[in-house]
Amino acid sequence: MRPEYVKQTNFDSEMTRFAGKYGLYLYREKGVDFSDQPTGVPVIFIHGHAGSYKQVRSLAAESAFCYYRNYAHDAAKWQQGVRNLDFFTVDFHEEFSALHGQSLLEQAEYLNDAIDYILKLYPQTRKYDAEAKLPDPTSVIIIGHSMGGIVARTMFTMNNYQHGTINTVITMSTPHMLPPVPFDWQISQLYDDINQFWQEGFSHPNQPADDTHRYPPPPHVSLRDISIISMAGGTLDNTVCSDSTNMGSIVPATHGFTVFSTAVPHVWTGADHVSILTCNQLVKIVSKTLLDLVDVRRGSQTKPLEERMQIMRHAFLSGLEDRKGDGSDVELGNLTFYNLAPDQGIFLKPGERWIIGQEAAAGVILLPTVANADAFSVLSDSPIGYDGRFELMLCSKVNGYAGNATRVACRSANSIAVPIPASTGSDAYPFSGNTFSFASIEFHEMGSYSYLAVVDKGGQSGGFLMIEPFKKSTHTLVIRQSMLSIALEGVHVKTGPGLFTSIRIPSIESPILAYHLKVSRPRCRSYPTHFAPFLRQSISTMHESKFYVNLAGNSHAETDVSIHGRTAFASIVSNSRDVDQNGLSFQLWMDPACPEPVQLDLSIDWYGSAGRLGFRNGIMLATFSFISVMLVFAAQIKCYNDTGIYPHFGQGLSFCFQRSFPLVMVCMAVCSIAQCASPSTHYTFDDLWYLPSSKLSWQDIMTGNTDGFFWWIPLAGLALSVGVVCLLWLVVEGAVRIAAHASILFTSHCGLSAWPSRIRETSQQQFQRRAVTTLVLFLLVATFIPYQFVFVVAFLVQIVTCIRALVRARTSPHRSDYRRSNRYNFMLSILLLFFTLLPFNLPILLVWIRNISVHWFVPFSSDHSVLAIAPFMIYVEILTGSRKMLPRQQNRLGCIITYLIMYYIVIYAFLYGIKYTHWIYFLSNHLVIWFLFLHLQDSHYGRASLHYLLDYVMIGSKKHS
């Protein structure tokens, strides 16, 4: 590859307000693309979080080579409108888009402006072309990686989106369902908005587009011609959970699907988050598919929606998905008549299995349908089709003979054959490069044809083909075990000998657990076999297929099995209402030459499951840690109000272990069990639009889990979070004590009597200095810096204040003065609360620092709210300057209000803190406002104001009387 990135300098500030922040480039492959002007079909690549615009290189280079090698000199393809692809790529300067919703909105707005600019280039660059009669492009193809896929979907919701300028979107490793880091309120709101927009856009597919004059157009108009594919890397992607890439509840099958790289033919391997863009096998498939979608004879530059979806299904899906069963989706060739002489064709007996080896027995082998079977299965190590050794046809005998020949009418059925990974003793992985061909057809799909014919053209060395009739009911096993039974005993299945067997376990649908699979067939080693047993794993909720080859070679070897499925806070969209058709499915191929059965043993991998559980519930740890700190904080305040002694954090933890935590865990267990016992969430896509909202409400709370086997996850999360909080307390208090001890040693060594302070500064001067500092920070928040920066400043100030409080408590002449101990314990509790709130503010601060580094100083419109930080900043200033702590509340009303606010925050964080994590910060803001009110009420000005109001009310009432 010899990449060249041509910057589009004409796309300046007159066309977009983000010209100074982002950049637009046209990719050109040196030695292949000889023009710097776009003349083909526009494609825009959108990189993701902290990505680079140069990540387009693999796709763009392969597309260029593929076009000029296979399409440029093909007259037929040229007449069909196939042209080269012009890859435009956007430089977002490695922006941290996964952390900040405003960044996603700005990128989407910039890209809509870029599309308008790109489409205006082509009338100029094509006017010198001999094909001036071709229509000017009106739309582009979008390829989005990671958060770039979210940006692509957001573009449709923006006010500057021009209807019809996008018709095909391919996303790679994009978390469509949930934001990976939901600490920013705007990114959570953005996800809700775009998912609602896309669901509404497909909820009424037959609604006429009679309101196209509206601007912006409604969702069902904007998405009418859209095809969108979500590709996932699977288990190897440790950055984005592949469960979240599933668009089954958003996009119907007529407009898109979700597929894993392990299911794509000739790829059959997983990919991590970055290498999904550079995986050679996958890049070749995607590049060829993009070229197959092109049709410059149409203004959209692509084929119609149905043709695009058919092309992408053929390219990206395994081909082993269930067909309709009535034969309507089986592509057959033209009707052809053959006269088969006795030495040219063999008519097998009903129910007979046939194996073709290296030597051809006859030109045509015909297998009749039989009463005790309902389908045929075919497996070969040679390609099945016009270019291979074998072909498949559906045939029937017809009247009329020519001598001893039998006259048959046949139609080609090569379309039912699909490539699958080869499985021999030398194949260790499905992506070894060797392939088999497999075909299966039910008798109902054959229609009026009574024979399945195999045409053996010979001419190739080696090879085999096996074909046998089978009955699906006897070769399909449904394991009706509960998850509890699977966890305790595992799954143990013994299948009879047969070429193709299906095993389905409806109970296994959750992606949380990992499994060990062992396939054994020890007695077959003495039999001559053509291939080793191999297996395909699939799940009913999305197109995830994994192949495991060369099994049963070692009776002690185990294979690691893991699945992806429903993500949290989303409905399960299944292809079938039949429960037995849901869950985990295994399709097993074994050589029928050996009459011995295959033993399949499946057990849970608890160690691997723990890792998957942690990967999918990381936000729960942060949320429940906040809940734990808030419960201890409430217990400390209650003890302080009752006794006047503010206990240290360890004593509060001890109290909560005895009282609060057991009660909270009981409530969690009840709610989690009720959530799992809610009505089933297995729906087809059309069901989602007619369900009452009450049926879907349970999935939006807690961890979003509705699988009864995992009701204990919130309890485990709380227990782990309590351990994290204990560790955090020990580390923080240890660090504070070390810093305080070092401070005391430093002051004594320097001959200072106490912590350095402004002794000559009067209280009025101190108040003025702090007021000016606070006002300056507020002014900066309103104009330049985000409020998250001020929170970090307040956090650092609180650390210093906590150290000073401990120093004063230790150096007090009256060591028994409990007031200074109370203040230090309170300061430490506030510091620990700030620690749990720190993850909600640091991501935005990182985005702001990144923007400063690229010289972008335009402030975020959403992160400059003074009210979002004023309570924290003012309270820290009060605690620092007045050397006071929270006033003790001895009146019952004040105590009740304090407890109600704190426990309301706990309840909300417990119910909605995982999905809407950002609200935890704002609710904590409300608590600090209440603390400020308590301080004001206890101050001299507060008491004076209260007396004034009371006197005014009393005097006014007396005058009135």
CA 151, distance to chain mean position in Å, is 14
In angstroms, the CA 570 to CA 258 distance is: 15
- Spatial separation of the C-alpha atoms in residues 177 and 170, rounded to whole Å: 16
DSSP per-residue letters across 941-961 = HHHHHHHHHHHHHHHHHHHH-
- How far apart CA 208 and CA 226 sit, in angstroms, is 16
Closest C-alpha among 529, 533, 505, 531 to residue 520? 533
146 counts as catalytic: yes
Strand pairing category for 166-172 and 140-145:
parallel
For helices 649-658 and 618-643, the axis angle rounded to 10 degrees is 100
CB 101, CB 126: distance < 8 Å: no
559-562 and 500-505 beta bridge pairing = unpaired
Q: At 953, is the secondary structure helix, strand, or coil?
A: helix
Provide the β-strand partners of residue 45: 89, 143
First to last CA, the chain: 94
Give Cα 343 distance to the centre of its chain.
58
Q: How far apart are CA 67 and CA 69, in angstroms?
A: 6
Specify the DSSP class assigned to residue 889. Answer: -
Judge contact between 234 and 201, C-beta under 8 A. Answer: no
Spell out the residues 6+ positions from residue 740 whose beta carbon is closer than 8 angstroms to its own. Answer: 803, 806, 807, 810
Given the residues 58, 63, 103, 146, the one annotated as active site: 146
Task: Name the token pair of 103.
Answer: 């960044």
Which residues, 6+ apart, have CB-to-CB distance to 260 below 8 Å? 231, 232, 233, 234, 242, 270, 542, 543, 544, 545, 546, 564
C-alpha closest to that of 626 among 874, 932, 922, 866: 922
Separation CA 466–CA 590 (nearest Å): 11
Rg of the chain in Å (alpha carbons):
34
Q: Is residue 57 within a helix (H) or strand (E), and if so which, with residue range?
A: helix 57-70
Q: Could you tell me which of 571, 583, 653, 676 has the C-alpha nearest to residue 832?
A: 653
What amino acid occupies position 940?
A: H
Report the run of H or E that residue 935 belongs to, with start and end. Answer: helix 919-938
Strand partners, 465: 356, 380
* 69 phi and psi angles, rounded to 5 deg: -85, -40
Q: What is the DSSP secondary-structure string of 174-214?
A: ---SS-SSTTSHHHHHHHHHHHHHHHHHHH-TT---TTTTS
Bond prior to 216 in cis (omega within 30° of 0)? yes
Q: For the chain, how many residues are written?
A: 961
Grouping H, G, I as helix, E, B as strand and the rest as coil, residue 421 is strand
Look at residue 262 and give its three-state secondary structure: coil
Let me know: does 381 contact 438? Beta carbons within 8 Å.
no
Query: Beta 375-380 vs 23-29: how paired, if at all?
Result: unpaired
The alpha carbon of residue 121 and the mean position of all alpha carbons in its chain are separated, in whole angstroms, by 35
Give the phi and the psi of residue 241 in degrees, each rounded to 5: -65, 125
Tell how many helices (H) and how many strands (E) occur in the chain.
22, 30
Task: Note whether 369 and 443 are within 8 A (CB).
Answer: yes
Helix (H) or strand (E) holding 337: strand 336-340
Look-up of token digits 């794993």: 537
Catalogue the active-site residues: 146
